[in-house]
Amino acid sequence: MSSIKIKLKEKDVAKIIEICDSFDNNPGDLINVLHKVQGEFGYLPAEVQEVVSNQLKVSLAKIYGVVTFYSFFTMIPRGKHPISICTGTACYVRGAEKVLDEFKKVLGIKVGESTADGKFSLTCLRCVGACGLAPVVQIGDKTYGRLAPDDVKRILDEYADN
Amino acid sequence: MEMIRLTIDKKTVEVKKGTTILDAAKSIGINIPTLCYLNMGDLNIENKPGGCRVCVVEVDGRRNLAPSCATECMPGMVVSTHSMRVLNARKTVVQLILSDHPFDCLVCAKSGNCELQDLAIKLGIRDVPYIGEQSTYREDTSPSIIRDVDKCIMCRRCEVMCNEVQTVGVLSAINRGFQSVVAPAFEMNLDHSVCTYCGQCVNVCPTGALTEVDHTNQLINDLADPDKVVVVQTAPAVRAALGEAFGMEPGTLVTGKLATVLRELGFDYVFDTDFAADLTIMEEGTELLGRLSQHLQGDPDVKLPILTSCCPAWVKFFEHNFPEMKDIPSTARSPQQMFGAIAKTYFADKINVDRKKLIVVSIMPCVAKKYECTRDEFKVDGNPDVDYSVSTRELAHLIKRANIDFVSLPDSDFDNPLGESTGAGVIFGVTGGVIEAAVRTAYEVHTGKALEKVDFKQLRGLEGIRSATVDFDGLPINIGIAHGLGNARKLLEDIKSGKSTYHAIEIMACPGGCIGGGGQPYIHGDTSILKARQKAIYAEDAGKTLRKSHENPYIIKLYEEFLGKPLSEKAHHLLHTHYFDRKKEVFIEE
């Protein structure tokens, strides 16, 4: 997996240490720590994992193993407008896959990635409880329903100015 | 102790509560096949993820087959290890593993030593009916170890070795499902990671996923080159293990045959790393005594304990993990590197050969030695003191390739001047040996008295961490010994926190010391082989006329003719080194 290289600010490091401390630097709490740290930063870049590794005395390889095992964790920053495509059963049978393919094509990114300008990121999720509107896509807080691949361009244009 | 009675394959067996079906079966001579399971009891190393399902057995009354490695015996259990259902399931499991495994067995480096191959043979697998996606992952080559994870079966043995035993923490399973592989953090290459190249992962890998970098073709070319003078040095632990590759009993010493075979292979000079081990004792022992006397005079700046520095994996380990303590280990180079430095100066001058035409090859029980000789500080104008290192396993292959009947070879001696050694040099091959060798010399130098009893039994054994106090004629010297990097880490943490009361500590990265090195013939988890090798090394020592390094006549001559005295300026230049802070060296690939 490629990773974005970033430099952590001192206050970021302090925040990670604070989170680790709140779990007594217990290696058994690795997942909880990562959960909280991702809540803070939005994602878990390599440098963040290094700080966690030093604090919890868990090897970097193990931490990376956990981060790549659970789909909840991500090493890529979410875009300004995170796009989530429901691939739950109802959406799937009503063509979510085709909508997803169109998003991938138009944005030029894969699931789990962000566009180079940081504007959009693409993830899949399972069921948002709006099966009647299948297939459903969420962009930020806004929900779009009954989508077809043809709608994708038009929807993305709504975000052209910001 | 509560005992449990059960039936396995219609035989009644009584075992202690807590025994697994696998062990209970073994106790009555039934060897259930395993793949991911690994138990090296003497070294407290166990891997039982219950993942591969090769060891499944049928238990009456249970719906599913049970993995025998991870299922405890219960009273009255009726177990079948070879029912039709078991045999079919076992075969299917191996066929499924093979369905995502390259079919290049004929040309695989592990062929003949592969546990998956053995299993396929044993289970009579003649076809693989499952066709599906194949894993493809880039090959990762480092100075010592090659990772070819397409051959990985996810047994996780390397992970246990790397994380729990060695505490190096380089290898971990990453990603999920079909994408899952064992890799370093961020999927970086090994040479960018904190890998120490100890090679213990290679030793326990059941397949060809982890192998050593092979230098035999380079060696064959050099031996055939009339313009090159090829010199070989062979480490102590090689002679206690090489015979195994030719069907000899573990623990058979093949020192004489080894010298003969190296000559037959075409080396111009057949020398012994044991000579350089004696030289190491001269330098390291003098350094120890120097620091001790400073300490006794009340110098507060003196760095104690002194740590041995013969093991390149250990050196890299502390450079990554304890760089703030890099002035504590002895500055003495390892015997391999001392040998190279002397061969390419003192000896090259003697035979009047330019160092660039002199090829120094080492035969080592180790794969970290391959990395060690590439380190820049061991080169002169880009020319390495030791050109490359070949493992015991590679040498065995080469001997077979050269159709030499090793077992029936006559014995011969090493050449001089760099082939003479004492018993002290030989015991470098086992845990505790380096410090015992150092004690033999340091005692005599410090007390001025002859040491009557040279066997320090209190320093020997296979316990992970050992300590003993040796009486230097009224001065008690506290000695610590650790083998396995996890044990080393414990001693290092104690030094860091000021708890350590040792004067000297010997550390070897591999369990058992060099006899259990990452380049030795595979033991497939059988630690009795390590014990046999250990016994052989001590037997070789006991059989030597000279048992103390400073009595080696060629070492005395080397100092007289060339080096002056231990820790002289020339000795410092050629035989000592410095260490690096590698904490920041780990970088993240874009």
Active site residue B287: yes
- Residue among B477, B500, B476 nearest B488 (CA): B500
Task: Identify the band that residue A77 occupies on the pLDDT scale cut at 50, 70 and 90.
Answer: confident
Task: Identify the band that residue A6 occupies on the pLDDT scale cut at 50, 70 and 90.
Answer: low
Give the number of beta-carbon pairs within 8 Å between A and B: 55
Query: In this predicted structure, which of A1-15, A44-58, B227-241 has the lowest mean pLDDT?
Result: A1-15
- Residue among B220, B205, B246 nearest B393 (CA): B246
Domain that holds residue B571: 217-575
CB contact under 8 A, A59 and B173: no
User: Which residues of chain A does B193 touch, with a Cβ-Cβ cutoff of 8 Å?
Assistant: 61
The last residue of one of the domains, among A37, A69, A101, is: A69
CB contact under 8 A, A59 and B175: no
State CA B121 to chain mean position distance.
29
Q: Are residues A55 and A86 located together in one domain of the fold?
A: no
Q: Are residues B90 and B223 located together in one domain of the fold?
A: no
The dihedral through the CA atoms of B523, B526, B527, B531 has a sign that is negative
| Residue-wise DSSP of B17-84 | TT-BHHHHHHHTT-----SS-EEEGGGTEEE----S-TTEEEETT-SS-EETTT-B--TT-EEESS-H
Q: Are residues A65 and A103 located together in one domain of the fold?
A: no
User: Which residues of chain A does B170 touch, with a Cβ-Cβ cutoff of 8 Å?
Assistant: 59, 61
Counting as low any pLDDT under 70, the low residues of chain B are 584-590
Provide the CATH number for the domain around residue B459.
Answer: 3.40.50.1780
Q: Is A62 on the interface with B (CB under 8 A)?
A: yes
- B552 Cβ contact partners less than 8 Å away, ≥ 6 residues apart: B275, B278, B420, B421, B422, B425, B546
Other Cβ atoms less than 10 A from the Cβ of A126: the count is 10
Task: Identify the band that residue A112 occupies on the pLDDT scale cut at 50, 70 and 90.
Answer: confident
Residue A1 lies in a domain: no
Rounded Cα distance between A116 and A121, Å, is 10
Number of domains in chain A: 2
User: Which residues of chain A does B588 touch, with a Cβ-Cβ cutoff of 8 Å?
Assistant: 3, 5, 46-47
Pick among A44, A64, A66, A75 to test the B interface (most B CBs inside 10 A): A64
What are the backbone angles phi and psi of residue A49, rounded to the nearest 5°?
A: -60, -35
Q: Are residues B87 and B234 located together in one domain of the fold?
A: no
Task: Give how far B590 is from chain A: nearest CA, Å.
Answer: 6
CB contact under 8 A, B174 and A63: no
Residue A97 lies in a domain: yes
Q: Are residues A35 and A94 located together in one domain of the fold?
A: no
What ipTM does the predicted assembly reach? 0.87
The last residue of one of the domains, among B55, B70, B97, is: B97
Q: Are residues A112 and A150 located together in one domain of the fold?
A: yes
CB contact under 8 A, B169 and A59: yes
Identity of the residue numbered B547: R
Among chain B residues, the shortest Cα distance to A4 is held by B590
Domain that holds residue A124: 81-157
The last residue of one of the domains, among B97, B124, B156, is: B97
CB contact under 8 A, A3 and B170: no
C-alpha distances (whole Å) from A87 to each of A73, A83, B270, B446, B503 are 18, 13, 69, 78, 65
Residue A4 lies in a domain: no
Q: Are residues A102 and A153 located together in one domain of the fold?
A: yes
CB contact under 8 A, A3 and B176: no
Q: Are residues A86 and A31 located together in one domain of the fold?
A: no
What are the backbone angles phi and psi of residue A111, rounded to the nearest 5°?
A: -60, 135
CB contact under 8 A, A60 and B185: yes
Active site residue B228: no
Higher pLDDT residue, B140 or A42?
A: B140
Here the tokens at position B462 are 């296979």
Residue A124 lies in a domain: yes
B547 touches B440 (CB < 8 A): yes
Provide the CATH number for the domain around residue A101.
Answer: 3.40.30.10
Burial class (CB in 10 A: 0-12, 13-18, 19+), B124: exposed
Residue A5 lies in a domain: no
Provide the CATH number for the domain around residue B25.
Answer: 3.10.20.740
Rounded Cα distance between B581 and A47, Å, is 19
CB contact under 8 A, A68 and B175: yes
Residue B235 lies in a domain: yes
Rounded Cα distance between A93 and A130, Å, is 14
Single out the catalytic residue among B283, B284, B394, B444.
Answer: B284
Task: Identify the band that residue A3 occupies on the pLDDT scale cut at 50, 70 and 90.
Answer: very low
B129 touches B95 (CB < 8 A): yes
Q: Are residues B412 and B551 located together in one domain of the fold?
A: yes
Identity of the residue numbered B47: N
Task: Identify the band that residue A162 occupies on the pLDDT scale cut at 50, 70 and 90.
Answer: low
Single out the catalytic residue among B36, B198, B201, B310.
Answer: B310
Q: Are residues A86 and A144 located together in one domain of the fold?
A: yes
CB contact under 8 A, B170 and A59: yes
Query: Which SS3 state, helix, strand or coil, does residue B263 take?
Result: helix
Residue B171 lies in a domain: no
**Radius of gyration of chain A from Cα atoms?**
18
B528 touches B250 (CB < 8 A): yes
Residue A34 lies in a domain: yes
Residue B132 lies in a domain: no
Active site residue B284: yes
Residue A162 lies in a domain: no
User: Which residues of chain A does B174 touch, with a Cβ-Cβ cutoff of 8 Å?
Assistant: 61, 64-65, 68-69
What are the backbone angles phi and psi of residue B170, rounded to the nearest 5°?
A: -95, -40
Active site residue B362: no
Task: Give how far B186 is from chain A: nearest CA, Å.
Answer: 6
Q: Are residues A104 and A125 located together in one domain of the fold?
A: yes
pLDDT at B55: 97
Number of domains in chain B: 2
Task: Give how far B204 is from chain A: nearest CA, Å.
Answer: 19
Here the tokens at position B551 are 């009595």
β-strand pairing of B45-47 with B38-40:
antiparallel
Query: Which SS3 state, helix, strand or coil, does residue B360 take?
Result: strand
Q: Are residues B75 and B221 located together in one domain of the fold?
A: no
Rounded Cα distance between B169 and B80, Å, is 39
CA angle B86, B89, B92 (to 5 degrees): 150
Q: Are residues A135 and A93 located together in one domain of the fold?
A: yes
| Residue-wise DSSP of A56-71 | HT--HHHHHHHHHHST
Residue B102 lies in a domain: no
- B226 Cβ contact partners less than 8 Å away, ≥ 6 residues apart: none
Q: Is A89 on the interface with B (CB under 8 A)?
A: no
Q: Are residues A114 and A60 located together in one domain of the fold?
A: no
B168 touches B131 (CB < 8 A): no
Q: Are residues B235 and B93 located together in one domain of the fold?
A: no
Task: Give how far B188 is from chain A: nearest CA, Å.
Answer: 9
The last residue of one of the domains, among A20, A39, A69, is: A69
Residue length of chain B? 590
Q: Which ranges of B332-432 does DSSP label H, i.e. alpha helix?
A: 335-342, 348-351, 368-372, 392-401, 423-426
pLDDT at B590: 43
Residue B65 lies in a domain: yes
Active site residue B589: no
Residue B105 lies in a domain: no
CB contact under 8 A, A65 and B173: yes
Task: Give how far A116 is from chain B: nearest CA, Å.
Answer: 14
Residue B143 lies in a domain: no
Residue B120 lies in a domain: no
User: Which residues of chain B does A34 touch, with a Cβ-Cβ cutoff of 8 Å?
Assistant: none
- Residue among B464, B509, B514, B506 nearest B317 (CA): B509
CB contact under 8 A, A61 and B589: no
Query: Which SS3 state, helix, strand or coil, does residue A122 take?
Result: strand
A109 touches A122 (CB < 8 A): yes
The residues of B whose Cβ lies within 8 A of any Cβ of A are 163, 168-176, 183-187, 193, 586, 588-590
Q: Are residues A65 and A85 located together in one domain of the fold?
A: no
Rounded Cα distance between B307 and B297, Å, is 20
The last residue of one of the domains, among B73, B97, B121, is: B97
Here the tokens at position B342 are 């002397």
Active site residue B330: yes
What are the backbone angles phi and psi of residue B482, rounded to the nearest 5°?
A: -135, 135
| Mean pLDDT within A77-83 | 88
Task: Give how far A151 is from chain B: nearest CA, Å.
Answer: 33
Among chain B residues, the shortest Cα distance to A64 is held by B185
Rounded Cα distance between B352 and A6, Å, is 56
Here the tokens at position A81 are 């407008």
A57 touches A21 (CB < 8 A): no
User: Which residues of chain A does B171 touch, with a Cβ-Cβ cutoff of 8 Å?
Assistant: 61
